[in-house]
A and B are shown apart, each in its own frame.
Chain A
Amino acid sequence: MSIWRQLTHGLRSLVRRETADQEIRDEVAEFLDEAAAELVSRGMPVEDAKRAVRLKYGTAQGAREDVRSFGWEATVTSVLTDLRYGMRLLRRTPGFTTVAVLTLGLGIGSATAIYSAVRPVLFEPLPYPYPDQILSITDRNEDGAPLPVTFGTYRELVERSRSFQALSAFKPWQPVATGQGEPERLEGQRVSAAFFEVLGVTPALGRGFDSTDDRPGGPDVVILSHGLWRRLFGGDSTIIGRHMQLDGAAFRVLGIMPPEFEHLPRHPAHAWALLQYDASLPSFDGREWGHHLDVVGRVQAGIDADAAGFDLHGIAADPIPERPRPAWASMDQGIFVRPLRDAESATARPLLIALLGAVTLLLVIACVNVTNLLLTRGVRRRGEMAVRAALGAASPRLLRQLVTEGLLLAALGGTVGLAFAWFGVGALVSLSPPELPRVESITLNAAAFAFAAGVTGFVGIIAGAVPVVVIVTGGNLRRGLLRASRRTTGGHMAARGALVVAQVGLASVLLAGAGLLLRSMQRLSDVSAGLDPSDMVVMQVQWAAHGSDANAVHRFYTQSLAAVRELPGVVSAALTSQLPLSGDLDMYSVQSEDDAQLESGAPAYRYAVSPDYFATMRIPIVRGRSLPLTANPASPSVVVSESLARIAFDGRDPIGQRVHVGRPDLPAYTVVGVVGDVKQASLDAEAAEAAYVIPGEWYFADAARWLVVRTEGNAAMLIPFIKQAIWSVDSDQPVVRIATMEDLVVRSESQRRFALIALEAFALMAMVLAAIGLYGVVAGSVNERWHEIGVRSALGASRRRLLAHVIRQGMILTAVGILIGLAAAAIASETMVTLLFGVSRVDPVTYVGVALLLMAATGVATWIPAGRAAAIDPAHTLRAE
């Protein structure tokens, strides 16, 4: 009841402020009039009565103020007054307002954009019902590095482990969908039946996989993502139970996943089919014992990753006779278990943390800058404050007014910042490297808005309150009143100097980070990929027919290659099963034939290539000769890379050595040549062990192959003609992943380039902000010392001396800031070591460069006010006194 009355009465006096105010006026006036009238009625003259009343009861003004300040609505009113006053001030100083709002906008906008990008990966749990219970499980190679799991190992873990509710193995699957318009390659996964049980999500329509179908020769069934279902079938729910054509086979559609379902493990996927490996593990030779599967598992409630890891390690260390293991899947290095969330963000994490750190620095710089601007203005307003205090304004009231102004400025900055963030998020998504998980969930959503609002409030309070503290502690307001008309400098200059030092320091850290990345990129561009990427166009061709024989596959590729070679403008063309820097990672164990022990095998990239591959890619043949033109499966040949030759043959002449590649039960390959090393994974990767064979001498026919074409120039122009040539052989085969080789070289560095672009942008903004800050301080000090400088000039100080005097002041601040900043950068660069290549994190060239750049920028910022100081007309100053 009482609260209700509080609310309604308060609201009434807020809404009808004029009436409410008039009522207070009337009531007070009536009170005083009555009092006076009474005195008059006792015979006192009117004037005397009025004076007596005033003496006894105080002024009407005072009484009105007392009554007005009652109730919550009075607080609202005074805040509104503060806001209006603040607005008026901001409008009166458009230059100041623009600089401050843009500065805050840049800071808040960048921070919000980066926060939006890192939030799904760093701060959010996986979008599954039991996010913490889902673990990623991998085998380990001899170095302890993660290695894909074999199906045999997976089966043994499923049967022997007690910690998991469900385990599932899966591998990428890119089927070609036909029958709905143009053939289209889908991103999918082949999974073992428990996959969706592990993630804890069931299809929204239809049903999930049946474990009895997960066997060789089991029925072809598929589950689709909501998005793909909408796109291919327009959301038609009668598709459940019907068939669709994938890789030329009819797949029955089992179910549709819910719209919000996101496939996170490894690559995004929109279609899922069953793995259908043979759980009886008939022999060590089949695909069941190849290291190519990912495994995820959901632990039982109450069991954590460590306990589950302990369980699996126990199994790894304790082989049992019922479950024989081949040497290459012996698990003797143990099993690697970590939360899926960590596994997914492992590659992107250093990048994201570096970005988050950088943008925090930028935000701090922006905040410092605005604080500094407000401080400059606050000092100028010290006179005003003192006058207001003298007229009876309470100190908390003045403090509140300044903080209100800070918040107002921050709110404007935050609004501008959201606009910046909107563009920023767009830019981040379009530049994002493929390693960045969950790119689809990077949006400017409610969480981002909340973040921006929080940052805005924080910045506003800091920017509003710091000047107050500095002004109040730098001399009390009474002294301010005395000073209001004087031109002396106060202790606040020290505070402002400190702020500038902080700004320059922070900017140095950012510039050093950007500089180190820039140098890394330069170093990388000097690294040779081991091939000549110029004027090359590449594309992956996919043999989409299901279950056809190897000869048909070989025939199709041989004929396609011949057709492409006929094209005008084509210098040479070749085929390969995997392409350097394309993201393909196809590895097999290579071991010497005389080695009885299987353990001695070295992992190497395996390429099934047409014999002219080396000539087309310009990979130098260092020794021996290229691969044979015709296949002789009884006595196959292999070409090895220099690095493989070095480690596999103990210094013996590699030519003529006989090795097994992959399956030791097949005839050994004879080494016929050695070629230069090629970067397969990325430019900064060390591993380049490679074994090249011809398709006819490999034990299966690779269905997907890259066509690499060297052209006479303008490679991209030839793309449609090359596609036509392939389709002239068979028009049903999709051509995908078309690129120029130069693009691939650039793209393989996209994560580092992404970091570089973002850091460069932040560093440049930081430098500009620092320069603005320094300009503000020097200009402010020139303004305040206008009088002093005029007097000096009148006393004969030369223009040069005055210039030098002002510039020295700016340069000392800068130098101190740079020194502190570079020391901090040397420490902070630790976080970005994994992004660097070929440069030390304390690279002297970078650090000296940063110092010079900042000196130059701040030099300009001090020169302008210094010039103004030197131009002060002494006569003018003295007259003003």
Chain B
Amino acid sequence: MTEHRTDVIQGTLDLLILKMLSAAPLHGYGITKRIEQISQGVFKVNPGSLLTALKRMERAGLLDSEWRNTEKSRRAKYYRLTKTGRRQLEVEAEDWDRRARAVGRLLKAEA
């Protein structure tokens, strides 16, 4: 049985977080859940890396956070994109597209 790798591709975690938050503010587990759902289980994000990344992005001014009650009325920290964060998402998404297409072309080329 082969074990599929579920780590997020190096350097893309920030991009994924920005994308997940672009629709609506989410708390930590919410972000993980969305990533897992949308990637259909290909990627898994553990809380250590996620919360560290959130902290780093908040410091960089990409995110804002506040403690709020969840729909199940538990207290959780919700993250939201700032203006800078939104701009950063556009830049990074475009960059990723360009690079992904390039990698795709390279893999299809006759070597």
Most buried by B among A31, A62, A67: A31
Contact B29 A70 (CB under 8 A): no
Closest approach, in angstroms, between the C-beta of B64 and any C-beta of chain A?
Answer: 12
Interface string of B60-97 (1 = CB under 8 A from A): 11000000001010111100000000000000000000
Neighbouring A residues of B77 by C-beta, 8 Å: 23, 26-27, 30
- If A5-B61, A26-B75 touch, does A70 touch B55 (CB 8 Å cutoff)? yes
- If A30-B75, A31-B29, A31-B32 touch, does A63 touch B61 (CB 8 Å cutoff)? no
Q: Does A57 contact B (CB under 8 A)?
A: yes
- If A2-B59, A70-B55 touch, does A27 touch B28 (CB 8 Å cutoff)? yes
Neighbouring B residues of A66 by C-beta, 8 Å: 48-49, 51-52
CB under 8 Å from chain B, chain A span 1-59: 1-2, 5-6, 9, 23-24, 26-28, 30-35, 37-38, 56-58
A26-B75, A56-B46 given; 20 more Cβ-contact pairs under 8 Å? A1-B61, A2-B61, A5-B61, A30-B76, A30-B77, A31-B27, A31-B32, A31-B47, A31-B50, A31-B51, A34-B27, A34-B30, A56-B44, A58-B46, A58-B47, A62-B48, A63-B47, A67-B52, A67-B55, A70-B56
- 10 chain-A/chain-B pairs, Cβ below 8 angstroms: A5-B60, A30-B29, A35-B32, A37-B72, A56-B46, A63-B47, A66-B49, A70-B55, A70-B56, A71-B55
* Bound CA span A66–B70, Å: 25
Neighbouring A residues of B33 by C-beta, 8 Å: 38
Minimum CB distance partner of A29 in chain B: B47
Minimum CB distance partner of A66 in chain B: B48
Contact B76 A34 (CB under 8 A): yes
Minimum CB distance partner of A61 in chain B: B48
Closest approach, in angstroms, between the C-beta of B85 and any C-beta of chain A?
Answer: 13
Q: Does A549 contact B (CB under 8 A)?
A: no
Contact A30 B74 (CB under 8 A): yes
Closest approach, in angstroms, between the C-beta of B95 and any C-beta of chain A?
Answer: 20
Contact A70 B52 (CB under 8 A): yes
Closest approach, in angstroms, between the C-beta of A470 and any C-beta of chain B?
Answer: 36
- If A33-B74, A34-B76 touch, does A67 touch B51 (CB 8 Å cutoff)? yes
Q: Does A65 contact B (CB under 8 A)?
A: yes
Across the interface, A31 reaches (CB within 8 A) one of B28, B58, B60, B72, namely B28
Neighbouring A residues of B55 by C-beta, 8 Å: 67, 70-71
Taking residues whose C-beta sits less than 8 angstroms from the other chain, chain B's interface range is 20 to 34
Closest approach, in angstroms, between the C-beta of A39 and any C-beta of chain B?
Answer: 12
Across the interface, B60 reaches (CB within 8 A) one of A2, A30, A57, namely A2
User: Residues of A at under 8 Å CB distance from B?
Assistant: 1-2, 5-6, 9, 23-24, 26-28, 30-35, 37-38, 56-58, 62-67, 70-71
Minimum CB distance partner of A70 in chain B: B52
* Bound CA span A38–B30, Å: 11
Neighbouring B residues of A56 by C-beta, 8 Å: 44, 46
Neighbouring B residues of A58 by C-beta, 8 Å: 46-48
Closest approach, in angstroms, between the C-beta of A324 and any C-beta of chain B?
Answer: 87
* Bound CA span A63–B51, Å: 8
Neighbouring A residues of B29 by C-beta, 8 Å: 30-31, 34-35
Closest approach, in angstroms, between the C-beta of B44 and any C-beta of chain A?
Answer: 7
* Bound CA span A67–B46, Å: 11
* Bound CA span A572–B58, Å: 97
Closest approach, in angstroms, between the C-beta of A72 and any C-beta of chain B?
Answer: 10
Closest approach, in angstroms, between the C-beta of A27 and any C-beta of chain B?
Answer: 5
Closest approach, in angstroms, between the C-beta of A31 and any C-beta of chain B?
Answer: 4
* Bound CA span A64–B49, Å: 10
* Bound CA span A860–B81, Å: 75
Minimum CB distance partner of B46 in chain A: A57
- If A30-B28, A66-B52, A70-B55 touch, does A57 touch B47 (CB 8 Å cutoff)? yes
Neighbouring B residues of A32 by C-beta, 8 Å: 47
Most buried by B among A23, A33, A65, A70: A70
* Bound CA span A58–B75, Å: 22
- If A35-B29, A56-B44, A57-B46 touch, does A5 touch B59 (CB 8 Å cutoff)? yes
The 5 closest A-B pairs by CB, nearest first: A66-B48, A34-B29, A63-B48, A63-B47, A31-B47
Contact A9 B74 (CB under 8 A): no
Neighbouring B residues of A38 by C-beta, 8 Å: 33
Neighbouring B residues of A24 by C-beta, 8 Å: 51
Minimum CB distance partner of A13 in chain B: B55
CB under 8 Å from chain A, chain B span 13-48: 27-30, 32-33, 44, 46-48
Closest approach, in angstroms, between the C-beta of A166 and any C-beta of chain B?
Answer: 64
- If A27-B77, A35-B29 touch, does A67 touch B61 (CB 8 Å cutoff)? no
* Bound CA span A736–B97, Å: 96
Neighbouring A residues of B72 by C-beta, 8 Å: 37
* Bound CA span A864–B12, Å: 67
* Bound CA span A62–B47, Å: 9
* Bound CA span A57–B60, Å: 26
Contact B59 A9 (CB under 8 A): yes
Minimum CB distance partner of B76 in chain A: A30
* Bound CA span A70–B54, Å: 11
Neighbouring A residues of B46 by C-beta, 8 Å: 56-58, 63
Minimum CB distance partner of A1 in chain B: B61
Neighbouring B residues of A27 by C-beta, 8 Å: 28, 51, 76-77
Closest approach, in angstroms, between the C-beta of B2 and any C-beta of chain A?
Answer: 19
Closest approach, in angstroms, between the C-beta of B53 and any C-beta of chain A?
Answer: 9
Closest approach, in angstroms, between the C-beta of A638 and any C-beta of chain B?
Answer: 95
Closest approach, in angstroms, between the C-beta of B87 and any C-beta of chain A?
Answer: 14
Contact B47 A65 (CB under 8 A): no
* Bound CA span A1–B55, Å: 16
Contact A30 B51 (CB under 8 A): no
Closest approach, in angstroms, between the C-beta of A19 and any C-beta of chain B?
Answer: 12
Neighbouring B residues of A65 by C-beta, 8 Å: 48
* Bound CA span A203–B60, Å: 59
Closest approach, in angstroms, between the C-beta of A610 and any C-beta of chain B?
Answer: 92
Contact A28 B47 (CB under 8 A): yes
Most buried by A among B28, B44, B47, B55: B47
Most buried by B among A2, A5, A27: A27
Closest approach, in angstroms, between the C-beta of B72 and any C-beta of chain A?
Answer: 7
* Bound CA span A31–B50, Å: 10
Closest approach, in angstroms, between the C-beta of B47 and any C-beta of chain A?
Answer: 4
- If A9-B59, A71-B59 touch, does A28 touch B76 (CB 8 Å cutoff)? no
Neighbouring A residues of B44 by C-beta, 8 Å: 56
Neighbouring A residues of B74 by C-beta, 8 Å: 30, 33-34
Neighbouring B residues of A67 by C-beta, 8 Å: 48, 51-52, 55
Neighbouring A residues of B56 by C-beta, 8 Å: 70
Closest approach, in angstroms, between the C-beta of A257 and any C-beta of chain B?
Answer: 59
* Bound CA span A58–B46, Å: 7
Closest approach, in angstroms, between the C-beta of A696 and any C-beta of chain B?
Answer: 96
Neighbouring A residues of B60 by C-beta, 8 Å: 2, 5
Closest approach, in angstroms, between the C-beta of A78 and any C-beta of chain B?
Answer: 16
Neighbouring A residues of B48 by C-beta, 8 Å: 58, 62-67
Closest approach, in angstroms, between the C-beta of B62 and any C-beta of chain A?
Answer: 10
Neighbouring A residues of B61 by C-beta, 8 Å: 1-2, 5
Minimum CB distance partner of B70 in chain A: A34
Closest approach, in angstroms, between the C-beta of B5 and any C-beta of chain A?
Answer: 15
Neighbouring B residues of A37 by C-beta, 8 Å: 72
Closest approach, in angstroms, between the C-beta of A552 and any C-beta of chain B?
Answer: 92
Minimum CB distance partner of A8 in chain B: B59
Closest approach, in angstroms, between the C-beta of A73 and any C-beta of chain B?
Answer: 11
* Bound CA span A842–B26, Å: 84
* Bound CA span A496–B80, Å: 60
Neighbouring A residues of B52 by C-beta, 8 Å: 66-67, 70
* Bound CA span A57–B72, Å: 22
Closest approach, in angstroms, between the C-beta of B57 and any C-beta of chain A?
Answer: 11
Closest approach, in angstroms, between the C-beta of B17 and any C-beta of chain A?
Answer: 14
Neighbouring A residues of B49 by C-beta, 8 Å: 66
Most buried by A among B28, B49, B61, B74: B28
